[in-house]
C-alpha cells in the first residue's frame, strides 16, 4: 500500500539532556535503580518537554527516565504525577512499561520505567505495522474492560476540551476556520453536544494513542507508553481518537479502518459521529492557541489532526446526513 502524504509535523518537545538535571534528581534516579548512572541517551519524539532518556547503570541495568520541572512547563509535572499513579496501578497483563520508581520534590518530577527495546511505528504508517497496532488496540480494550483502575470518566476529563464548537459558536470567532466548518459551526455545536453520553463506558482507555506513544518490539509485542490521560470510556474511544492522527501521518482513510475494526461493530453510528464531531472541535480550537512552553510543534500537529478529523466527519455525514449538515 503506497503511503499517503504526511501532513503532521514531527511530535517534538524541547528536550533537556540527562546532564541538565539537578544533581538531586540524578541521585534519586540512581537510588531507585541501585547504582550510579553511567550512560544516558536522549530520546527524540513525543510532546513531553524536559528529560526523556534511556539510561544505563554502572552495573548494567537499563531504564527509561522522563523528568520535567515547573519551569519547563507548569502543567507537565502534574501530568507526570498522574502518569505515575496510572501506570503503577495497571495490572501486569497490560501492554505497558513497568514503573520502577518516581521522584517528586514539588518542582521536579521524575519517572523511572523499565526500558522497552523497540521502535516507534514508521511514519508514514506502514500497512503491516498499522495492522499490528490495530490488533493490539483491540486486545488493550478487551484487557481493560471492565477497568481494573480507578480513573475519571471521559466526560469529566474532557468536558472543557470537547466543547470546542460550543465555544466557537458562542464567541463568533471563526476567523481562519475551514469554510465548511464556518458555515455549520452552530450545527456542529448541536451535533457534538451529546458526545459524553455516547462515549461513556467502563473500559480504561489510554486517551492519547499516537505513533510516538507506541513501541513495537522484535518479539511482536505492541507496548503502549505515556498514560497520564487514562479515563473510563467506551471500548472504541481509543480507536476513534487515534485514527485522525494515523491519517495525518500517512495512514489510510479513518472511516474504512474504523468500520472494519471489531471494537466498532457494536458502536451506535450516530453516537460515533457525535464523539467524532467533538474530537474535531477539540483539535480545531486548540490548534488556534499559542504553543505551550516547551512544545513548539503541538499546535501544527493538532491542526493536521483537525483537518483529518473534519474530513472523516464529512465522510460520515455524507452517508448519514445530520439535519443542516449534508
- pLDDT single digits (tens) 167-204: 999 999 998 899 999 999 999 999 999 999 999 999 99
Q: Is the pLDDT at 121 greater than 80, yes or no? A: yes
Q: Is the pLDDT at 323 greater than 80, yes or no? A: no
Cell (9 digits) for 292 = 505551550
Please list the residues that pair with 214 across neighbouring strands: 224
Q: How many residues does the chain have?
A: 326
- 233: which residues sit within 8 A by CB, 6+ positions away? 153, 154, 199, 200, 201, 203, 205, 207
HSE, CB side, 13 Å, CA atoms: give it for residue 164: 25
pLDDT at 292: 79
Give φ, ψ of 223 to 5 degrees: -110, 130
Tens of pLDDT, residue by residue over 31-87, are 999 999 999 999 876 666 789 999 999 999 999 999 999 988 888 999 999 999 999
pLDDT at 10: 57
- Asked if residue 264 lies in contact with residue 258, where contact means CB atoms within 8 angstroms, the answer is yes
Please tell me whether the overall predicted TM-score, pTM, comes out greater than 0.95 for this model: no
Average pLDDT over residues 130-137: 98
CA distance to 158, 244, 272, 315, per residue, from 263 (Å) = 21, 17, 12, 20
DSSP codes, 207-229: S---GGGEEE-TTS-EEE---TT
What is the Cα–Cα distance from 29 to 26, expressed in whole angstroms?
Answer: 5
pLDDT at 2: 37
Alpha carbon 51 to its chain centroid, in Å, reads: 19
Place of cell 498514560: 227
- Domains of the chain, each with CATH number or no CATH: 18-114 (3.30.200.20), 127-319 (3.90.1200.10)
Amino acid at each position: 500500500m503506497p503511503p499517503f502524504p504526511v501532513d503532521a509535523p514531527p511530535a517534538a518537545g524541547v528536550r533537556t539532556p540527562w546532564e541538565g538535571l539537578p544533581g538531586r534528581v540524578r541521585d534519586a534516579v540512581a537510588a531507585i535503580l541501585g547504582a550510579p548512572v553511567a550512560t544516558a541517551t536522549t530520546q527524540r519524539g513525543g510532546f513531553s518537554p524536559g528529560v526523556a532518556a534511556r539510561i544505563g547503570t554502572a552495573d548494567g541495568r537499563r531504564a527509561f527516565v522522563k523528568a520535567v520541572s515547573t519551569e519547563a512547563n507548569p502543567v507537565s509535572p502534574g501530568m507526570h504525577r498522574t502518569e505515575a499513579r496510572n501506570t503503577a496501578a495497571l495490572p501486569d497483563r497490560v501492554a505497558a512499561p513497568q514503573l520502577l520508581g518516581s521522584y517528586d520534590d514539588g518542582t521536579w518530577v521524575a519517572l523511572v520505567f523499565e526500558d522497552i527495546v523497540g521502535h516507534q511505528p514508521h511514519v508514514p504508517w506502514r500497512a503491516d505495522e498499522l495492522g499490528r497496532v490495530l490488533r493490539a488496540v483491540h486486545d488493550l480494550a478487551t484487557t481493560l474492560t471492565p477497568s481494573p483502575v480507578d480513573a475519571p470518566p471521559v466526560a469529566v476529563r474532557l468536558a472543557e476540551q470537547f466543547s470546542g464548537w460550543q465555544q466557537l459558536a458562542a464567541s463568533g470567532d471563526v476567523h481562519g476556520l475551514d469554510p465548511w466548518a464556518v458555515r455549520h459551526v452552530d450545527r456542529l455545536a448541536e451535533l457534538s453536544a451529546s458526545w459524553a453520553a455516547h462515549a461513556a463506558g467502563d473500559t480504561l482507555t489510554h486517551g492519547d494513542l499516537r505513533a510516538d506513544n507506541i513501541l513495537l518490539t522484535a518479539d511482536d509485542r505492541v507496548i503502549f507508553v505515556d498514560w497520564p490521560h487514562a479515563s473510563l470510556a467506551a471500548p472504541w474511544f481509543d480507536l476513534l481518537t487515534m485514527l485522525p492522527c494515523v491519517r495525518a501521518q500517512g495512514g489510510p482513510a479513518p472511516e474504512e479502518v474504523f468500520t472494519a475494526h471489531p471494537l466498532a461493530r457494536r458502536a451506535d453510528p450516530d453516537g460515533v459521529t457525535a464523539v467524532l464531531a467533538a474530537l474535531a472541535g477539540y483539535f480545531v480550537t486548540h490548534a488556534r492557541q499559542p504553543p505551550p512552553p516547551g512544545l513548539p510543534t503541538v499546535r501544527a500537529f493538532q491542526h493536521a489532526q483537525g483537518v483529518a478529523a473534519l474530513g472523516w466527519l464529512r465522510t460520515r455525514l455524507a452517508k448519514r446526513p445530520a439535519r443542516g449538515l449534508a
